[in-house]
């Protein structure tokens, strides 16, 4: 199933509300807790991936490659949010054995669509539209300042500002 941007936006907004997140930067610990997920670092992830969803005990875990060097905390935050997107939008991916790796070299067209949806969800989760619009009204659309404020990469906030048609109006 392919999801609309509006559906993805609603799902992210519901999750933020249920996790009690009302301001930036989004604390992913609250989101992970609201979903009853675990975050686990593993030094030897298979398939050269950054993260994977996997069943763990009575729940699920987002297993992160603990061996990635130079990955950066902001990229890791986006990766976690991306996996949360899969968990919310594509719950069937959380059940296969073995865990389906993210960012592997073997991805089908359906997998690419699911990854684009998970990326859109991650952007909505980390940079909710209402908070981005409020921040841009208060401080302008300065990419560096907003990237720091939302604890995301410059390219992520720039993409969100462009998607929301804020970047052109306020300049950058």
pLDDT tens track for 8-22: 999 999 999 999 999
8 Å CB contact between 120 and 70: no
Q: Identify the helix (H) or strand (E) that includes residue 38.
A: strand 37-42
Output the six-digit token pair for 101: 């790796």
Nearest-10 Cα torsion for 137, 143, 145, 149: 80
- What pTM value is reported for the model? 0.85
Q: How large a percentage of the chain has pLDDT more than 90?
A: 64
- 70, pLDDT greater than 90: no
Q: Using pLDDT thresholds of 50, 70 and 90, give the confidence band for residue 107.
A: low
- 97, pLDDT greater than 60: no
Per DSSP, the three-state class of 64 is strand
Average pLDDT of 121-140?
95
Asked if residue 109 and residue 161 are part of one domain, the reply reads: no
Per DSSP, the three-state class of 48 is helix
Q: How large a percentage of the chain has pLDDT more than 70?
A: 81
pLDDT of res. 95: 59
pLDDT of res. 167: 76
Q: 99: which DSSP letter?
A: P
Average pLDDT across the chain, whole number? 85
Burial of 142 (C-beta count, 10 Å sphere; 0-12/13-18/19+):
middle
Asked if residue 116 and residue 163 are part of one domain, the reply reads: no
Asked if residue 131 and residue 121 are part of one domain, the reply reads: no
Query: What's the total number of domains in the chain?
Result: 2
Asked if residue 131 and residue 98 are part of one domain, the reply reads: no
Asked if residue 131 and residue 51 are part of one domain, the reply reads: no
Asked if residue 134 and residue 117 are part of one domain, the reply reads: no
pLDDT of res. 83: 95
Q: Using pLDDT thresholds of 50, 70 and 90, give the confidence band for residue 50.
A: confident
- 118, pLDDT greater than 60: yes
Domain interval for residue 137: 127-172
Average pLDDT of 2-6?
94
pLDDT of res. 123: 97
Cis bond before residue 31 (omega within 30° of 0): no
Asked if residue 165 and residue 108 are part of one domain, the reply reads: no
Asked if residue 76 and residue 151 are part of one domain, the reply reads: no
């Amino acid at each position: 199933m392919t999801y609309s941007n509006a559906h993805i936006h609603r799902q992210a907004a519901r999750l933020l509300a249920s996790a009690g997140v009302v301001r930036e930067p989004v604390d992913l610990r609250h989101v992970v807790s609201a979903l009853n997920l675990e975050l686990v670092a593993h030094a030897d992830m298979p398939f050269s991936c950054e993260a994977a969803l996997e069943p763990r005990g009575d729940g699920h875990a987002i297993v992160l490659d603990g061996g990635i060097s130079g990955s950066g905390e902001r990229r890791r935050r986006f990766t976690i949010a991306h996996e949360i997107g899969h968990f919310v939008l594509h719950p069937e991916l959380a059940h296969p054995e073995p865990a389906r790796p993210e960012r592997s070299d073997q991805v089908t067209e359906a997998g690419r669509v699911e990854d684009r949806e998970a990326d859109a969800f991650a952007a909505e989760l980390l940079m909710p539209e209402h908070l981005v619009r409020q921040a841009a009204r208060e401080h302008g659309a300065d990419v560096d300042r907003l990237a720091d404020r939302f604890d995301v990469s410059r390219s992520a906030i720039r993409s969100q500002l462009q998607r929301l048609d804020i970047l052109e109006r306020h300049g950058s």
